[in-house]
Amino acid sequence: MARATLCGVAHPLLRLSAEVAAALASGRPVVALESTLITHGLPAPRNLEAAQRAEAAVRAGGATPATIAVHGGRILVGLTATDSETLAAAPEPWKVSRHNLAAALGRPGWSGTTVSATMIAAHLAGIEVFATGGIGGVHRGGQDSMDISSDLDELARTPVAVVCAGPKSILDVPRTLEALETRGVPVVGWGTTELAGFFSPTSGLPVAITVDDAPAAADLWRRHRSLGLGSGMVFAVPIPAADGIPHDEIEGAIATAELGASAAGIHSAAATPWILARVAELTDGRSVAANLALIENNARVAASLAVALVAVGLPRA
């Protein structure tokens, strides 16, 4: 693996795969991918399937995938197939965000990178585009519990274009949008004037900024970067209609799952995986299939953005 460079200086904690290093050195498009979908996001074997489908979609779109994880005191940017399989089978991997990234680099074993940690690594490596399933945000009841994802602050401070299917459905989405606006993070509808609803193509919430295609998205991102604002940007892409679940139906399943979690005394970090597992049961596995489909679709769209950014060729901020 090659070392990544920041301002021309090799960063000792970053290791780029030969494929990713070559792509970046030659100015070819690269898309970053997170690894918590492997370590914490989906049950086996769907976790590895999701990662493989995302990487395949990026390649099919003409870009190089760079799945990011932490292992052996280094941030790995670009995993081999063997790396991904090993990560999927790793015992008790850490879930890494900004607050514990340095600590993860000082421990043995594997760690999966969340949206925030993946953004940090991508920016260090010089990768502008990152594809994920959905971003974190303000959890339901977060105004009292203060359960708010670090993704929001990362988007405010790290200039990476994040392609997703909107905030995760289990969140308080209106409050999440308010928090992003307060932090100066643009939320852009990709081919829609309505915010993508993660499992559903729709959410019932409008977005003020929209783009119709990858060239328009690339122009918008370049203008944003040229202003030196320092923040990232959320491109919210609706799940394909054939793969989605109607908004009212998925909201009902989430509400039922949340009541069950509360009755069982499940709170904080343990609540999210419990609720998602219960939603999968209530939808007869359709939520898992939808999750896989939206991850793949986001990777495809992110590749188109990365390719368009190379074509635009404007100076980076």
Structure tokens at 183: 């932090």
Q: Is-catalytic flag, 34?
A: yes
Nearest to 101, CA basis, from 55, 150, 142, 138: 150
Which letter, b or e, does each residue of 125-139 get, where b requires 16 or more Cβ atoms within 10 Å of its Cβ? bebbbbbbbbbbbbb
What does each C-alpha distance from 252 to 79, 170, 172, 259, 294 come to in angstroms? 38, 11, 14, 11, 20
In the chain, what's the furthest Cα-to-Cα distance? Answer: 55
Total residues belonging to the chain: 317
Looking up tokens 């992110």 gives: 302
**Residue tagged active-site, from 34, 55, 128, 154:** 34
Q: What are phi and psi of 119, to 5 degrees?
A: -60, -45
Relative to beta strand 64-71, strand 110-113 is: antiparallel
**Residue tagged active-site, from 55, 128, 168, 296:** 168
| Catalytic residue ranges | 34, 168
